[in-house]
Amino acid sequence: MKEVVLITGAGGLIAQELSKKIENDYEIRFLTRNKKRENEYEWNIKNGTIDEAALENVSHIIHLAGANISEKRWTPERKKELISSRVDSANLLLQAVKKKNIRLKSFISASGINYYGTITSEKIFTETNSPGNDFLSEVVILWERAADAFKEQNLAERVVKIRTAVVLSEKEGALKKMLLPIQYGIGSSLGTGKQYMPWIHIKDICSIYEFALKNVRMSGAYNANSPEHTTNENLTKKIAEIVNKPLFMPNVPGFVLKLIFGELSNALLKGSRASSQKIQDEGFRFEFPDLQESLKDLLSKKV
């Protein structure tokens, strides 16, 4: 009998791609707000309700739920939503697991590379470094704390936190947003363009979750970003090269982004490097460690 893996954030790209990757080895279930398929179960984070049938014989939970950080301006209400969608959802799962007296083999939670703070520096952050002190690092700290509660309360044998970088996919996210203006000949770097952008290919982030699921040695936090570092300017140039479009527009000034996005602009204008050595030391091997090859793989159909 296959072990049951329950995945939250069912509508997200990682959830969909990951489920295809592991469906031959595991029975996959999803938690979603609107059930459409047989293997989907409903939950409502605001109301604190969950279909407990989703937890029958479950061995692993992969917690990917979380409102999109860069989708809207960070109003006070939006900030609460960004935290609640991650933390309250984890707490709802914890209470449901506790109620059914389940001990999971693993609780694997998404997390963010912004744990270290939204800053631009020459430091390369590792998992042993302290967290930052801005809003995004606060989100990640609370997010990871909610995940750790599963181990602390003896509800999971191990907890793994995947500190995810910018996920590159042609289907959605940062790459798609950067590609559109480049294709129309109006692409440009943001701010100075010198800010680092930790990144990872969609196939590699899904492979990391599969690796964490199957590798019982893994526990704690892991940076999930490609070993090759890049800046916003370099990424913009490489995208333009791959799709054979010129870049002649000046950089978008930082003050313009601040006017448009408010505090959210910090996530666009700042960024530092992070090391993925820890997960490589566990035995994980990136399929797409090279930015040029990653973009070729993702954008070959766009040329």
For 216-221, what is the mean pLDDT?
97
Q: Average pLDDT of the chain?
A: 94
Q: Identify the weakest region by mean pLDDT among 18-22, 94-98, 255-259.
A: 255-259
How high is the pLDDT of residue 302? 58
Range of the domain at 95: 4-167+202-226
**Would you say residue 11 lies in a domain?**
yes
pLDDT tens digits along 138-185: 999 999 999 999 999 999 999 999 999 999 999 988 999 999 889 888
**Would you say residue 266 lies in a domain?**
no
Report the alpha-carbon distance of residue 192 to residue 265 in Å, rounded. 13
pLDDT of residue 46 exceeding 60, the answer is yes
**Would you say residue 80 lies in a domain?**
yes
Give the list of residues 6+ apart from residue 72 with CB closer than 8 angstroms, or none.
Answer: 78, 264
pLDDT tens digits along 51-76: 999 999 999 999 999 999 988 899 99
Q: What is the sign, positive or negative, of the torsion defined by CA atoms of 49, 51, 54, 56?
A: positive
Report the alpha-carbon distance of residue 166 to residue 286 in Å, rounded. 15
How high is the pLDDT of residue 238? 95
**How many domains does the chain divide into?**
1
Of 72, 268, 302, give the one whose Cα is nearest residue 189: 268
CATH number at residue 213: 3.40.50.720
**pTM, two decimal places:** 0.95
